[in-house]
Amino acid sequence: MAVIEVDGLDKSFTLHDQGGAVIPVLAGARLAVEAGECVALTGASGAGKSTLMRMIHGNYLAGAGRIAVCGVDVARAAPREILALRRDRLGHVSQFLRVVPRVPALEVVAEPLLAVGASREAALGRARALLTRLNLPERLWALSPTTFSGGEQQRVNIARGFAHPYPALLLDEPTASLDAANREVVLTLVDEARARGAAILGIFHDAAARARVCDREVDVSAFAPVPA
Amino acid sequence: MGAVTQAGAVGAAAMVAEAAGADGLGTGGPGTGGPGTHGGDRPLLSAERLTKRYGGRIGCGDVSFELWRGEVLGIVGESGSGKSTLLSCLSGHLAPDTGRVLYDAGDGSVDTLALAEAERRRLMRTDWAFVHQNPRDGLRMGVSAGGNVGERLMGTGARHYGNIRAAALDWLARVEIAPDRIDDRPSAFSGGMQQRLQIARNLVTGPRLVLMDEPTGGLDVSVQARLLDLVRGLVREMGLSAIVVTHDLAVVRLLADRLMVMKDGHVVEQGLTDQVLDDPQHAHTQLLVSSVLQV
State pLDDT tens for residues B80-119: 999 999 999 999 889 999 999 999 988 889 999 888 888 8
Q: What's the pLDDT band for A227 if we cut at 50, 70, 90?
A: confident
CB contact under 8 Å between B229 and A101, yes or no, is yes
Of B34, B68, B228, the CB nearest to A80: B68
- Nearest CB to B34 within list A58, A100, A116: A116
Any chain A CB within 8 A of the CB of B229?
yes
A173-201: buried (b, 16+ CB within 10 Å) or exposed (e) per residue?
Answer: bbbbbbeeebbebbbebbeebbeeebbbb
What residue of A is the nearest CA neighbor of B29?
A: A120
Whether chain A has a CB inside 8 Å of the CB on B232: the answer is: yes
Res B11: pLDDT: 33
* pLDDT per residue as tens digits for the range B135-160: 999 999 999 999 999 999 998 888 89
Chain B contact for A45 (CB, 8 A cutoff): no
- Note the pLDDT of residue B126: 87
Q: What is the 3-state secondary structure of chain B? A: CCHHHHCCCCCHHHHHHHHHHHCCCCCCCCCCCCHHHHCCCCCCEEEEEEEEEECCEEEEEEEEEEECCCCEEEEECCCCCCHHHHHHHHHCCCCCCEEEEEEECCCCEEEHHHCCHHHHHHHHHHCEEEECCCHHHHCCCCCCHHHHHHHHHHHCCCCCHHHHHHHHHHHHHHCCCCHHHCCCCHHHCCHHHHHHHHHHHHHCCCCCEEEEECCCCCCCHHHHHHHHHHHHHHHHHHCCEEEEEECCHHHHHHHCCEEEEEECCEEEEEEEHHHHHHCCCCHHHHHHHHCCCCC
Question: CA–CA separation, A85 vs A57, rounded Å?
Answer: 9
Task: Please give the model's pTM, rounded to 2 decimal places.
Answer: 0.87
Q: With residue A107 as reference, give the H or E element that holds it.
A: helix A105-115
3-state secondary structure at position A43: coil
Please give the pLDDT value at position B22: 31
Contacts of A103 (CB under 8 A, 6+ apart): A144, B229
Chain A residues within an 8 Å CB radius of B46: none
In chain A, which among 73-102 make CB contacts under 8 A with chain B?
A: 79-80, 82-84, 87-88, 98, 100-102
Check B290 against A116: CB less than 8 A apart: no
pLDDT of residue B228: 83
Please name the helix (run of DSSP H) or strand (run of DSSP E) that holds residue A93, with its range, or none: strand A90-93
Q: How far apart are the first and last CA of chain A?
A: 34
Could you tell me which chain B residue has the CA closest to the CA of A98?
A: B254
d(CA B191, CA A212): 55
Q: For the ranges A59-63, A156-160, B215-219, B239-243, which has the lowest average pLDDT? A: B215-219
Confidence of residue A51 (pLDDT cuts 50, 70, 90): very high
> Could you give the CA distance from residue A203 to residue A211 in angstroms, rounded to a whole number?
12
Of the candidates B242, B19, B249, the one whose C-alpha atom is nearest the C-alpha of residue B129 is B242
Chains A and B: how many Cβ contacts under 8 Å? 82
Per-residue model confidence (pLDDT) at position A71: 96
pLDDT score of B15 more than 50: no
Chain A residues near residue B274 by CB distance under 8 angstroms: 59
Q: Which of residues 164-223 of B touch A (CB under 8 A)?
A: none
- Position B20 confidence tier, pLDDT thresholds 50, 70, 90: very low
Chain A nearest CA to B64, separation (Å): 15
Smallest CA–CA distance from B232 into chain A, residue? A100
Going from the C-alpha of B42 to that of each of B32, B39, B106, B123, the distances in angstroms are 21, 9, 8, 19
Residue B2: its pLDDT value, please? 38
Contacts of B253 in chain A (CB under 8 A): 98
**What is the rounded (10 degree) CA torsion for A51, A87, B242, B164?**
-150
- Mean pLDDT of all residues in chain A? 95
Residue A78 main-chain phi, psi, to 5 deg = -70, 155
Q: What pLDDT does B295 receive?
A: 63
Residues 184-223 of A with CB under 8 A from B: none
pLDDT band at B124 (very low <50, low <70, confident <90, very high): confident
CB nearest B232 (choices: A59, A87, A100):
A100
Among candidates A100, A119, A123 on the partner chain, residue whose Cβ is nearest the Cβ of B228: A100
At residue A185, φ and ψ (nearest 5 deg) are: -60, -45
- pLDDT level of residue B34 (50, 70, 90 thresholds): very low
Nearest residue, CB atoms, A17 vs list B30, B278, B286: B286
How far is Cα B232 from Cα B227, in angstroms, rounded to an integer? 8
Residue B10 CA to residue B131 CA, distance in Å, equals 31
Whether B73 contacts B256, CB under 8 Å: yes
Q: Across residues A63-76, what is the average pLDDT? A: 97
**Which of B253, B262, B245, B242 is CA-nearest to residue B45?**
B242
Mean pLDDT of A68-83: 96
Instruction: Indicate the pLDDT class of residue B40, thresholds 50, 70 and 90.
Output: low
Which amino acid would we find at residue A167?
P
Answer yes or no: is pLDDT of B31 > 60: no
- Sheet strand arrangement including B128-131: B128-131, B209-213, B241-246, B72-76, B258-263, B266-272
Q: Are strands B241-246 and B72-76 parallel, antiparallel or unpaired?
A: parallel
- The per-residue pLDDT for A99 is 76
Q: What is the pLDDT of residue B33?
A: 35
> What amino acid occupies position B217?
G
Ranking A4-18, A185-199, B27-41, B60-74 by mean pLDDT, the lowest is B27-41
pLDDT recorded at residue B156: 85
Rounded mean pLDDT of A121-135?
A: 98
Contact: A114, B30; criterion CB under 8 Å: yes
Q: What is the pLDDT of residue B8?
A: 35
Residue-level pLDDT at B232: 83
Pick from A61, A80, A117: CB nearest B34: A117
Task: Give the lowest-confidence range in A105-119, A164-178, B227-241.
Answer: B227-241
Residue pair B206/B23 in contact by the 8 Å Cβ criterion: yes
DSSP A149: -
